[in-house]
Amino acid sequence: MTRALLIIDVQNDFTEGGALGVDGGAAVAAAITAHARSHAAEYALVVASRDWHDATGDNGGHFATDAPPNFVTTWPVHCVAGSTGAEYHPAIDSSLIDVHVRKGQGVPAYSIFEGTTDEGGTLVALLDEHGIDAVDVVGIATDHCVRASALDALAAGRRVRVLSDLVAGVAPDPSAAALAEIVAAGGEVAPAAS
C-alpha cells in the first residue's frame, strides 16, 4: 500500500475564534502536525485542503447574503481567499505539506476532491500519478468536509482511514453519524498510532 495523508481545512476560520470555529480545532491542528512529523515515513504524499472562497458574491449560494444562514447549505462568510481566516491555523506546519488544494472558489465545495492543486490539477489525478491507493483523513469538520472527503476517497477507489483523534466536528451527534456513514461505505475509523 502507498498511503497519503489528507489534511482537511485546518484553517483559522474553522478553529476557535474563527467565523465557523469548532471546539478542539486548535488542539487538532497541533496534533496533526505532531502526527505528520512522527509518521512522515508512512506517507508518500501529504496533501492539505483549504476553503478558498471568492470575496464577492455568495459563492454559488454558499454564503448567506439575503437571509440568516441555515448551517446546512448556507453559511456565514468564511475563508475568503487571501484573508487571515483562510490561512492554515498557525499550529499546522505547512512545510510538511507537499501539495495544497484550494476548493470552493465561487461555488459550494466540501470535499478535498472538489478542489484543485496550485497547478490546476485534480486530487484523483495526483493520487494516480503517485500510485496512492490508501489515504488517512484528518482535519475539520468531521461532520462536513472530513465526511465528504472520506466518502469521495472511497468513491475514487482508495482505502480510507479516518484518524478519529485527529478530527474535530461541529456537533457530537452529526460527527458520530458521519463516522458511522464512512464505516458503512467501507472506510475505517481508528485513532492515530502513537
Q: Per-residue pLDDT tens for 83-100?
A: 999 999 999 999 999 999
When pLDDT is cut at 50, 70 and 90, the band that residue 194 belongs to is low
For every residue of the chain, DSSP letters joined together read: --EEEEEE--BGGGSTTSTT--TTHHHHHHHHHHHHHHTGGG-SEEEEEEE-B-SSS-TTTTB-SSS---SSS-B-S--BTTSGGGSBPTTS-GGG-SEEEEE-SSS---SGGGSEETTS--HHHHHHHTT--EEEEEEE-IIIIIHHHHHHHHHTT-EEEEEEEEEE-S-HHHHHHHHHHHHHTT-EEEPPP-
Is the bond leading into 141 cis (omega within 30 degrees of zero)?
Answer: yes
Give me the CATH topology for the region 3-190. Rossmann fold (3.40.50)
The string of pLDDT tens digits covering residues 129-164 is: 999 999 999 999 999 999 999 999 999 999 999 999
Residues annotated as catalytic are 9, 103, 145
d(CA 20, CA 32): 20
Task: Report domain extents, the chain.
Answer: 3-190
